[in-house]
């Protein structure tokens, strides 16, 4: 007996038919077609691929036909075949491929739902493609991602993982559960007598892990088989040592918040900023990670208001200290008298104190900062914390520790140390912010500039090492290229970045623009930045040395030209591009590299870091 599809009919008494028909969403039908590697399929083929009965698949496919999602084709003497009504939907649908042994997930054309789920427990490594909505994404699940995952228990995390993957990955799930357990094996708490205690989940962890990885003097004395008295000055180093051993420490100490600070936020937060703040308040530590222009400072001010205790804000420069004060006054109700600056020019301790890393880490000032009961310490440009000259500031104690960074990566590969000293990453997918329109995605172009002067080329060929790098950076042809780009984008606020002072002065003279470097007096530098930011100002181009790579808020910059300095870090490349990332308007970045020199490789390396975050990068050979 056959049914109306031309296939053998199942008997009503056949237990294989089961009970009620199984619903087959259109996505499941697409999966069946992909598994068959054919554009059409019969009901029996769909049933086999989806693990259901033929009768159930037949009924479900009939429902899809009635809804108009699927068409059917009746061929005499052959079984009925089904195919999608909209072939474009099949070609453009999301595909998820997991590589459990490498703990990697590749997603082609991911939905916002999938990306939101993945951001909870995975790290976006790379993106491919050009147009939004057509890109492929590579995610990797790292230890620190599992440790910081926002779930009450491992089951919640595993459930989110299963919601994304196309099929179960038992080995990966076992690894995730193990990492989750590791993240809850040690904690610090304050004893009722006021000293700090390290507590392990069991005796073995205290004996085999803590004692073998901690140095003499970090623990003062055992309290029990699972507890030890911690030297007050060694809290940060204890956390770092156990983190390196694969056991992040939960910090539950009863730290004071200092005197209350009367401050409310006056700017409305975006949804993702609210999520950042809520996530931070739950754990009392973390690093806000997002592209320039995503509003990390506003989220930090909201965090300061939520904590409501004495706050220390650490910044890398005096310029950034002044900008922080302006931002606090512009976006909150804080009394100006409650905000103090502490750096080489001013030294005021207030309920909200903004200090430079260098000053706060100096011995003669350190005791003053140590004596305060900070409710919150905010580390702006947090990648500085792991640098030796600034690392002492990370030992300052606070009930809450917040970091801000667009790219918390150092070329030494010790970004994990940043998360150890401050907290786990809390951030948004750069590409998601671009697509949502919260941040303007920059257009990045590497322009390979030829040698146009034979003398300069010969001098480069004869040189070696560092001198060769300098000569490539100062290729005289770049001056004409900068002039050409500025003329092509006349009227745009532009920043021209350079590495060497002589090169900066040569370009500044050629285009008639001010040159800002470390040798520029502080008050002159501040005045130039003020004029550049001012609406209607006649100053629309600045040549800037490394002093402008970070911590300078120039929100109206529309064009960045990196004329030299390509031997720098990936983070430096992101920061320079980030000078143009803002919520509105165009964003253009040109990177000049002398053709046939090491600058080509340096440019590609720096911009590859941006490409992995979803930024489109193109390349152009400049004519001879």
Most confident segment among 69-73, 119-123, 219-223: 219-223
Strand partners, 66: none
- Do 456 and 487 lie in one domain? The reply is yes
Looking at the domain assignment, is residue 2 inside a domain? no
Domain final residue pick, 430, 449, 473:
430
User: Mean pLDDT over all residues of the chain?
Assistant: 79
- Do 42 and 110 lie in one domain? The reply is no
Q: For the residues 200-227, what does the mean pLDDT come to?
A: 90
At 109-124, the pLDDT tens digits run 777 677 777 877 887 7
Distance CA 58, CA 588 (A): 55
Please report the DSSP string for 64-120 in residue order: HHHHTSEEEE--TTS--EEEES-HHHHHTS-EEEEEGGGTEEEEES--HHHHHHHHT
- Do 419 and 347 lie in one domain? The reply is yes
Domain final residue pick, 380, 401, 430:
430
What's the CATH number where 25 sits?
1.10.10.10
Which of 163-172, 261-270, 368-377 is predicted with the least confidence, judged by mean pLDDT?
368-377
Distance CA 561, CA 583 (A): 20
At 554-569, the pLDDT tens digits run 667 788 898 987 644 4
Q: Are strands 588-594 and 559-562 parallel, antiparallel or unpaired?
A: parallel
Q: Which of 66, 73, 79 is nearest to 24 (CA)?
A: 66
Distance CA 555, CA 529 (A): 11
- Do 468 and 496 lie in one domain? The reply is yes
Most confident segment among 72-81, 324-333, 399-408: 324-333
- Do 364 and 228 lie in one domain? The reply is no
Neighbours of 140 (CB within 10 A): 15
- Do 289 and 346 lie in one domain? The reply is yes
Looking at the domain assignment, is residue 497 inside a domain? yes
- Do 464 and 582 lie in one domain? The reply is yes
Strand partners, 312: 353, 377
What's the CATH number where 464 sits?
3.40.50.300
Helix axes 43-50, 26-36, angle to 10 degrees: 100
Looking at the domain assignment, is residue 315 inside a domain? yes
Neighbours of 72 (CB within 10 A): 15
**Number of domains forming the structure of the chain:** 5
Strand partners, 385: none
H or E element in which residue 236 lies? helix 235-244
- Do 81 and 122 lie in one domain? The reply is no
Looking at the domain assignment, is residue 229 inside a domain? yes
Looking at the domain assignment, is residue 262 inside a domain? no
Looking at the domain assignment, is residue 266 inside a domain? no
Report the pLDDT value the prediction gives residue 263, as an integer from 0 to 100: 93
Domain final residue pick, 385, 402, 430:
430
- Do 481 and 602 lie in one domain? The reply is yes
Interior CA angle at 286 toward 281 and 289, to 5°? Answer: 115
What range does the domain containing 126 cover? 94-182
- Do 331 and 393 lie in one domain? The reply is yes
Q: Is pLDDT above 90 for 478?
A: yes
Q: For the residues 97-118, what does the mean pLDDT come to?
A: 81
At 129-165, the pLDDT tens digits run 545 445 677 888 988 788 878 788 899 899 989 988 8
- Do 583 and 613 lie in one domain? The reply is yes
**Confidence band, pLDDT 50/70/90 cuts, at residue 579:** very low
Distance CA 622, CA 594 (A): 10
Please report the DSSP string for 471-525 in residue order: HHHT-THHHHHHHHHHHHTTTS-EEEE-SSHHHHHHHHHHHT--EE-TTS-HHHH
Looking at the domain assignment, is residue 306 inside a domain? yes
- Do 366 and 384 lie in one domain? The reply is yes
Report the pLDDT value the prediction gives residue 28, as an integer from 0 to 100: 78
Distance CA 500, CA 510 (A): 16
Q: For the residues 292-316, what does the mean pLDDT come to?
A: 90
């Amino acid at each position: 007996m056959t049914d109306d599809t031309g296939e053998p009919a199942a008997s009503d008494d056949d237990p294989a038919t089961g009970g009620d028909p199984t619903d087959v969403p259109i996505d499941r039908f697409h999966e069946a077609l992909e598994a068959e590697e054919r554009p059409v399929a019969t009901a029996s083929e769909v049933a086999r691929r989806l693990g259901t009965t033929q009768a159930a698949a037949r009924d479900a496919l009939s429902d899809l036909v009635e809804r108009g999602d699927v068409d059917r084709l009746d061929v005499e003497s052959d079984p009925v075949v089904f195919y999608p009504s909209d072939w474009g939907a099949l070609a453009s649908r999301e595909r998820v491929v997991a590589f459990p042994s490498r703990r990697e997930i590749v997603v082609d054309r991911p939905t916002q739902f999938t990306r939101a789920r993945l951001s909870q427990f995975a790290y976006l490594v790379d993106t491919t493609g050009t147009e939004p909505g057509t890109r492929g994404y590579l995610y990797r699940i790292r230890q620190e991602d599992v440790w910081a995952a926002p779930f009450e228990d491992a089951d919640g995390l595993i459930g989110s993982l299963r919601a994304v993957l196309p099929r179960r990955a038992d080995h990966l799930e076992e690894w995730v559960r193990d990492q989750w357990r590791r993240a809850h094996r040690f904690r610090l708490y304050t004893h009722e007598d006021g000293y700090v205690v390290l507590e392990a989940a069991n005796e073995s962890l205290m004996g085999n892990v803590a004692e073998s990885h901690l140095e003499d003097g970090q623990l003062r004395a055992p309290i029990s088989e699972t507890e030890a008295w911690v030297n007050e000055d060694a809290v940060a180093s204890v956390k770092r040592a156990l983190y390196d051993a694969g056991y992040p420490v939960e910090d539950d100490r009863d730290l004071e918040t200092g005197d209350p600070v009367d401050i409310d936020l006056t700017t409305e937060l975006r949804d993702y900023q609210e999520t950042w703040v809520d996530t931070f308040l739950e754990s009392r530590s973390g690093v806000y990670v997002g592209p320039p222009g995503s509003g990390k400072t506003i989220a930090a001010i909201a965090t300061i208001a939520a904590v409501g205790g004495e706050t220390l804000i650490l910044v890398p420069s005096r310029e950034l200290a002044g900008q922080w004060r302006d931002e606090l006054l512009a976006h909150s109700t804080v009394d100006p008298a409650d905000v103090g600056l502490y750096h080489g020019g001013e030294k005021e301790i207030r309920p909200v104190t903004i200090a430079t890393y260098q000053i706060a880490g100096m011995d003669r000032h350190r005791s003053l900062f140590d004596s305060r009961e900070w409710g919150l310490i905010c580390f702006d440009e947090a990648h500085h914390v792991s640098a030796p000259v600034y690392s002492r500031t990370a030992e300052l104690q606070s009930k809450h520790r917040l970091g801000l960074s667009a790219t918390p990566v150092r070329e030494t590969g010790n970004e994990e140390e940043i998360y150890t000293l401050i907290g786990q990453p809390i951030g948004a997918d750069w590409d998601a912010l671009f697509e949502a329109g919260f941040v303007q995605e920059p257009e990045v172009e590497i322009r390979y500039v030829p040698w146009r002067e034979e003398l300069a080329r010969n001098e480069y060929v004869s040189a070696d090492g560092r001198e060769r790098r300098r000569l490539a950076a100062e290729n005289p042809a770049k001056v004409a290229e900068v002039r050409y780009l500025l003329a092509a984008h006349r009227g745009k606020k532009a920043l021209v970045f350079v590495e060497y002072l002589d090169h900066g002065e040569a370009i500044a003279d050629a285009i008639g623009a001010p040159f800002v470097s470390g040798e520029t007096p502080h008050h002159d530098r501040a005045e130039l930045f003020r004029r550049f930011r001012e609406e209607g100002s006649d100053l629309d181009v600045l040549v800037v040395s490394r002093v402008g790579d970070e911590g300078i808020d120039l929100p109206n910059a529309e064009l960045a030209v990196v004329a030299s300095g390509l031997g720098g870090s990936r983070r430096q490349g992101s920061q320079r591009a980030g000078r143009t990332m803002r919520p509105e308007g165009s964003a253009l970045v040109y990177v000049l590299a002398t053709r046939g020199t090491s600058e080509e490789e340096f440019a590609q390396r720096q911009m590859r870091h941006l490409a992995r975050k979803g930024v489109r990068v193109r390349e152009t050979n400049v004519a001879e």
